[in-house]
Amino acid sequence: MSKLSHVSDSGKANMVDVGAKSVQLRTARACGMIRMNPETVALIRENKMKKGDVLTVAEIAGIQGGKRTSDLIPLCHPLLITKMEVHASLCETGVKIESIARCIGQTGIEMEALTAVSIALLTIYDMCKAADKAMLIEGIQLVEKTKEDL
């Protein structure tokens, strides 16, 4: 069995052993979208949602979520995150979320970037659900991941 296998000899799930991998600067970008009614978009634009400033709260929630990824996804390694950025932008059909995550480590940071987007989108859903029962979260995806030797 490979030393980087996710299943031990006993058949139980384990974290992948990344100890032999070199430390690198790793970056990941992710995005996603929440579609909503035009009236909901207008409420967000005019900052009239009862729970407050939707875009700012979603960005902060996304950052918090990205930082907590290893607490949420059982086999993810805790990482030394050096950057976590989440940007929410309003468009005609809803809100687009983009994230950038960076770390110095031995394993990728794509799960953190994806988690940041997911949590930001779920926050928007929570803040707008009273005004819009037809919202749709879609298109959560990894856009890019890179690694550079230090």
Q: For residue 56, what is the enclosing H or E element?
A: helix 54-67
pLDDT at residue 9, rounded to an integer: 60
Quick: pLDDT tens for 83-128.
999 999 999 999 999 999 999 999 999 999 999 999 999 999 999 9
* Separation between Cα atoms, residue 35 and residue 15, nearest integer Å: 35
For 3-40, give the secondary structure using H, E and C.
CCCCECCCCCECCCCCCCCCCEEEEEEEEEEEECCHHH
Asked about 126 being catalytic, the answer comes back as yes
Q: Domains in the chain and their CATH numbers?
A: 24-149 (3.30.70.640)
Mean pLDDT, residues 32-37: 98
Are the C-beta atoms of 49 and 131 separated by less than 8 Å? yes
pLDDT at residue 51, rounded to an integer: 96
**What is the distance in angstroms between the CA of the first residue and the CA of the last residue of the chain?**
30
Active-site residue (options: 9, 53, 126, 149): 126
pLDDT category of residue 1 using cuts at 50, 70 and 90: very low
Quick: pLDDT tens for 57-84.
999 999 999 999 999 999 999 999 999 9
pLDDT at residue 19, rounded to an integer: 86
Q: What is the pTM of this model?
A: 0.91
